[in-house]
Structure 1
Amino acid sequence: MVLTIATALLPVFFVMALGFFAGKRRIVDNSDVGSLNHLVMLFALPISLFTAIAVTDRSVILANWWLAVVLVIVMVLTYAIVYVAQTRIAKLSPGDAAVQTLTTAFPNYAAIGLPLTAAVFGPSAALAVAVAIAAGSVTISPLTLALLENARATEAGETGSTGRRFLTALGRSVRKPIFLGPVLGLVWSLLAIPVPDLLSTTLREIGGVAAGVALFLTGLILSAQRIRITGNAVVSSLVKTVAQPILGLLVIVVLRVPQPFAGQALLLLSIPAGFFGILFGLNHKLRPAVAGSTLVLSSLMSIVTLSIAIALLSGTG
């Protein structure tokens, strides 16, 4: 179990630490990371998500509908609750709240999901990670982009009702590569179009760097902030590492989700906070310190919570 968790978490902390070190020592400029962010958000991540989903057989996507249903329900519920709490209790601005909410509600499937699920369920579980990434990428990711666009429009003084501005923002968000990549991959898979080996190999040259560069960039961003253990960061981390898996367990019990989808969903929901929120915020010049603190703190907490999840799954297996 110790080796399983170390295999999943150590690479994440190592690459983030490299980015943090590079920023602190001014080896890489941590005050101007726009070019790296564009590499990740406009090219590497969209291509990586497209490839991961497009190469998945349609039968696998359809067979994993139980997994997709559980993850979508839990992530959307978590998102709604956390966003309300961030705006009304923590009093964050709508833009900062959107960044913090996505950080909390969207687990770090891209960097941690693959090694973790492969160690627990075997290599075939990689397909579960692709389904999980798709579930978040076509639901709470575009919602966050729309909220960020709406916040930008509001601050810019654009006219129109809130509803009209939000719909306009949603229209802009669904045209972004980070949304189009996974959606096109999902459509490609459902149409059962084979991905030529040459195309897959070509796309993986850039898509393969997505998780590593994204984690390095996250560490770089964190190096320009103060990591503070605030009440908001602690509660958000507990929501991610404790409340979200428990909510997932309740959904699994209520819907009577069969194995292996129940176990895969529970393990995936136990993964700590992801970096998408921070990267989305950077695109809109938003860097709420609480998001970085939540990312680091939830990753540390997950050493305990993932151990519990793996022990429970081993007991049921």
Structure 2
Amino acid sequence: MVTLIITALLPVYIGLALGFFAGKRHLVDNQNVASLNVLLMQFALPLTLFVSIARTPQRVIIENGPLALVLAGGLLIVYLAVFYVQRRVYRLSLGDSAVQTLTIAFPNFASIGLPLLIPIFGQSAALPVAIAIAVGSITISPLTLALIEMHRAQENQHGQPASAARQFIVALGHSVQKPIFIGPVLGLVVALSGISLPAIVGTALGPMTSATAGVGLFLTGLMLSAQPIHLGSNVVFGTLVKNVIQPLVVLGLVLLFGIPWQIGVQAVLLTAIPAGFFGLVFGASAGLRPPVSGATLVVSSVLGAITLSLAIYVWAPAH
């Protein structure tokens, strides 16, 4: 089991450390990471998920249907609860609350999912990672975008803002047009149709897809290096919810709905992944950079070495 934990986590934290080192030493600009983010989110990751899912047998995809339900429940329950706390307890603005809530509720699937699960479950782990990203992309991501748009409308005082329902629908429409959503969906269409993906496709995309995990981890480390760390009760709260409570919520849903354990353990391990950077990316595009979100991202990622190790030890299948 110790070997399994090291195999799963060592590549993750080496990649994070290299990105962090490069940012701190100013070898790479850690303030302007838009280009690396585009490389990861619009090219490398969507292509990787497309190829991996398209190669997955139809039967395996159907069997993983309950995974989407459990992940959606776990993400939404935590999102709504955390947003309420941010607004009512910590009194953050609407926009800052949205950024902080997404930072906590949306694990870093994009960067850590593949390098974490592949050593444990093999190449088939690309499917649950794709499902996790897709679920977050059509649930809590557009909800966050809608809240940020509401915040901007209120700040700019451009008359009466559109209804929350309309803003959510517009944001949802935008999210499903993104490559990070289209890639997995196209892969699902190919796999469910029974079409065999030509080997030449995987070969042609190989140089790009093989770089996905490394780029994702490096980018996350780079972003961590630019975040100030000011510990406070909100940071502690966010880290506790993300690293401990969210996987326990998902575990409860797995047991409640009688989800097969092979699927359930993947859901638990995925939601045990530390906080993600989507909240900071969404916020930066609107001029929102709440320090608490950066600190939460850093602390959650650092403590994730301990909490992820415990999660793997307790729930990962023995090899």
Common fold: TM-score over 0.5: yes
Counterpart of 1:222 in structure 2: which amino acid?
L
Other structure's SS at 1:260 match: helix
My pick for the range that moved more, 302-311 or 223-232, is 302-311
My pick for the range that moved more, 54-63 or 155-164, is 155-164
Counterpart of 1:198 in structure 2: which amino acid?
I
Q: Which residue of 2 aligns with 1:84?
A: 84
Counterpart of 1:297 in structure 2: which amino acid?
V
Other structure's SS at 2:186 match: helix
Other structure's SS at 1:183 match: helix
Q: CA deviation at 1:121?
A: 4.5
Q: Which residue of 2 aligns with 1:224?
A: 226
Cα distance in 2 for partners of 1:229, 1:146 equals 29
Other structure's SS at 2:56 match: coil
Cα distance in 2 for partners of 1:241, 1:124 equals 24
Distance 1:224 1:252, change over 3 A: closer
Cα distance in 2 for partners of 1:207, 1:154 equals 41
Provide the aligned C-alpha RMSD in A. 2.9
Cα distance in 2 for partners of 1:112, 1:199 equals 25
My pick for the range that moved more, 146-155 or 207-216, is 146-155
Correspondence list, 1:1-317, <5 A: 1-121=1-121, 124-159=124-159, 160-163=161-164, 164-313=166-315
**CA displacement 1:210-252 (0-9 Å, x = unmatched):** 3322332233233333122221111111111211122122212
Counterpart of 2:212 in structure 1: which amino acid?
A
Counterpart of 1:19 in structure 2: which amino acid?
G
Cα distance in 2 for partners of 1:182, 1:157 equals 38
Other structure's SS at 2:30 match: coil
Q: Is the Cα contact below 8 Å between 1:4 and 1:119 reproduced in 2?
A: yes
Q: CA deviation at 1:315?
A: 9.1
**CA displacement 1:36-67 (0-9 Å, x = unmatched):** 23323332333333333333232211111222
Counterpart of 1:235 in structure 2: which amino acid?
F
Counterpart of 1:56 in structure 2: which amino acid?
T
Cα distance in 1 for partners of 2:284, 2:216 equals 12
Distance 1:226 1:260, change over 3 A: same
My pick for the range that moved more, 60-69 or 291-300, is 291-300
Cα distance in 1 for partners of 2:142, 2:185 equals 11
Q: CA deviation at 1:33?
A: 2.6
Cα distance in 2 for partners of 1:302, 1:244 equals 13
Counterpart of 2:78 in structure 1: which amino acid?
T
Cα distance in 2 for partners of 1:122, 1:33 equals 31
Number of corresponding residues: 317
My pick for the range that moved more, 54-63 or 286-295, is 286-295
Distance 1:217 1:141, change over 3 A: same
Counterpart of 2:117 in structure 1: which amino acid?
T
Cα distance in 2 for partners of 1:218, 1:75 equals 21
Distance 1:242 1:263, change over 3 A: same
Cα distance in 1 for partners of 2:71, 2:288 equals 27
Other structure's SS at 1:253 match: helix
Cα distance in 2 for partners of 1:82, 1:123 equals 33
Other structure's SS at 2:261 match: coil
Q: CA deviation at 1:21?
A: 2.4
Q: CA deviation at 1:140?
A: 2.6
Q: Is the Cα contact below 8 Å between 2:111 and 2:213 reproduced in 1?
A: yes
Q: Scaled by the length of structure 2, what TM-score is found?
A: 0.84
In structure 2, list runs of 5 or more residues that go unmatched: none
Distance 1:250 1:279, change over 3 A: same
